[in-house]
Every structure is written in C-alpha cells, then in structure tokens.
Amino acid sequence: MVYTVPLIIFMDDVSGNISKQWNKHHAIYMSNANLPWEMLEKEFFVRFVSSSPHAPPMELMRAMKESICDAAQSGVVAWDCKDNKEVMLIPYGLFLAGDNPMQVEECSHAGLNYNYFCQTCDVGGTKEYKESEAGYGSIFTSGNLRTPEKTTQEIREQFESAFKSGASTKIQNSVLSTGSQALPDSDIDATLQKKFEELLNGRQLDGAINPLLGMHGLDIHMDTPTEILHMILLGVVKYFWGQTVFLLEKAKFLHIFQCRLASIDKDGLNAPCLNADYICHYKGSLIGKHFKSLAQVMPFIIHDFVPPTVLNAWTVIGELVVLIWHTRIVDTEAYLQPPGVK
C-alpha cells in the first residue's frame, strides 16, 4: 500500500535557551494532518525538524522543501502495525502555519504596512483611495488572487532593475504600481544593489528566490491560512477590551465588573477558571486564552455599563470568535478531502 501524508509545517522565532532573556532562533516543526484534532493538539505529535540562531527563515525552509521533495520522490518505507506489513509513505506540504509576520515572509510579501496589505490577494490601494468611500468599501471584498508565478516574476524584475541604470526610477515605478515601501531616492541605486549582491552571495538568482514559491503542490499565497491568535484574539479582541476597560474605569465600574466576572457561569467555556482577580489586575497583559473566554461572556457582564454600540460590538465579537474556531476545523478538514469531494 502507498499512503500520502499531508504535513502541517510551522515556523516561528523562539527563545533558544534560558541563560539569556532572549536568544532568537528560528525553528521548524511538523505535524501529520491525518491525525484527529484531539491528537494534533498534543505536544507529542508536534515533531521538531530544524532550528538555527544564524540561518535565515528561508534558508531553513529551502532545506525543509528539499527534504520533503526527496522523500516524496523516493517514498518512505514504514511498518503498518495494523495490517502487519510494509507500506510506502509519500509526504507533501498541506499548509504552512505560523503568525502573520512569518507567513508574510514566507509569501515574499511586504506586510500590513504595505498599501496592498493582503498576502492572498491584491485588495487595497493608496492611502487616499482607501480613505475614499469607494476605496473603503473595496477593503471588505476580495481582490485578484496572488499567484506564486506572478510573485516570482515581480521578484525577478526587481532584481534585474537594481542592476541596471536608472534603477531609482524603475524601482519607484514598481512601488507606485504595487504599493510597496522603498528607500529614499538618493539611497536606492547604491543600497539596493549592495543588498541584492549580498543576498545572491555569488549564487544564481534561482538559488536566492524564496524556495516556497516553486514548491510542488503548494500555493504559498493560498496555503498560509489566517493565523487567528494575533489577527483576532490579540488584535480585534485585545484592542476592544482595552477601550472597554477605559470606559469601565472612567465610570468607576471596574470593581463591579470584577465581581460579575468572578460569579458568571463558566460551564460552556471549556475553561477551568476565568480568574477574575488576575484578569482585572493584569488587564493590560492578558494572553489569547483570556480573550477567547472574555469574548464569549462580555455581553452578559457589561450590558448596563456601556453604550449600546459597545455592547452590540461585543455581541458580534463573541459570535465571530466561535465561528472562526469552527471554520478553522472545517477548513482543515476540507484541505484533506480528495479532489472533487466537497
């Protein structure tokens, strides 16, 4: 028997030891997406692949890609303990998990400060356009999907422009057409060429381009699903929590809020304790698990403390958090369906 093994690939920067407060390492981990969700969440099934304090993320990803491609080409012989016979495994990358900044780098994208801020499509535009009525409305609709082929082409054009005369004008034209940020005009010719030369380091251009853009079976723009923790819990929920706390403190309701939070029924939260004392004392230093619980109970606690618009917003946030967690499971299951199966 031959079985395909879909891999969830994760990379992020971590602290490498305990002798220093912060010693940055980039690390890659993998999980077998065939496993049930309750097993995927266990630490045992998250397997370490590689780590380095010196190699940049894309160098690690290049080695990871080559390793997976080699294994897929030759196959991995393993023992099937259920059927008591040898089987062959064919691994492939299913999607790349990680936080937003890391996924942006994996997509060769400029990030949220970029005029066209989405790593999946080209939604956005200039500051003036996004502040207009039509431009603001367009932010909430999908743009044209990005493709690895198009991104590779743009990278090649930027490399080629940096080594030609008039690089300043060509790079600036590219900036205007894509919305990316650039160095000051006086520094573009000298600085960009030097940076590109350092990046190439004597190699051909193909060896320096993001290896994930050409990985077989993986569309890096589509296969970097939105990271919920920083985007929602430590994004929308965190900042709305800060504004709500400001209103509660201004009205001197925070102590009543703490009493209500301590006494609310927690049976449906899948959380052992909301710890109201900790949440209210360290209200500016909460983490994802706190915001996940708060998003579901806030409307019941603050209904008579805040204006209706704030209460309605918390109601929508609570529904959003539940829907996103459900969608995460459904979307991952959809990734695993055979072609043509919905």
Q: Tens of pLDDT along 124-137?
A: 888 899 899 999 99
pLDDT score of 326: 63
- Domains held by the chain: number: 3
Amino acid at 332: T
3-state helix, strand, coil in the chain (%, to 5): 50, 15, 35
CB atoms near residue 212 (< 10 Å): 25
Sheet strands side by side (includes 76-80): 47-52, 24-32, 2-15, 85-97, 76-80
Judging by DSSP bridges, how do beta strands 76-80 and 2-15 pair with one another? unpaired
Residues 293, 204 share a domain: no
Round to whole Å and give the CA distance between 96 and 328: 14
Name the burial class of residue 295, with classes exposed (0-12), middle (13-18) and buried (19+) by CB atoms within 10 angstroms of its CB: buried
Query: Which of 79, 104, 129 represents a domain boundary (last residue)?
Result: 104
pLDDT score of 176: 53
Round to whole Å and give the CA distance between 166 and 177: 17
pTM: 0.73
pLDDT score of 168: 63
Query: Which of 104, 131, 155 represents a domain boundary (last residue)?
Result: 104
Inside any domain, residue 221: no
Please name the residues in contact with 103: beta carbons below 8 A apart, sequence gap of 6 or more: 96, 119, 224, 227
What phi and psi values does residue 110 have, to the nearest 5 degrees? Answer: -85, -20
User: Which of 8, 74, 82 lies closest to 47 in space, CA to CA?
Assistant: 8
pLDDT band at residue 240 using 50, 70 and 90 as cut-offs: very high
Residues 251, 331 share a domain: yes
Task: Give the range of the structural domain holding residue 174, as residue numbers without chain letter.
Answer: 114-214
Residue 172 has pLDDT above 70, yes or no: no
For tokens 């699903």, the residue is 225
Inside any domain, residue 168: yes
Is the CB of residue 31 less than 8 Å from the CB of residue 8?
yes
Is the CB of residue 1 less than 8 Å from the CB of residue 14?
no
Average pLDDT score, the chain? 82
Amino acid at 64: M
Q: Give the residue with greater pLDDT, 289 vs 256.
A: 256
Inside any domain, residue 340: no
Round to whole Å and give the CA distance between 122 and 143: 5
pLDDT score of 29: 94
Is the CB of residue 88 less than 8 Å from the CB of residue 76?
yes
Residues 260, 190 share a domain: no
Inside any domain, residue 329: yes
Inside any domain, residue 236: yes
Inside any domain, residue 300: yes
Inside any domain, residue 342: no
End-to-end Cα, the chain, rounded Å? 25
- Report percent pLDDT > 70 for the chain: 78
Residues 329, 262 share a domain: yes
Please tell me the least confidently modeled range out of 15-19, 162-166, 174-178, 244-248. 174-178
Amino acid at 157: E
pLDDT score of 189: 47
Inside any domain, residue 341: no
What phi and psi values does residue 21 have, to the nearest 5 degrees? Answer: -65, -40
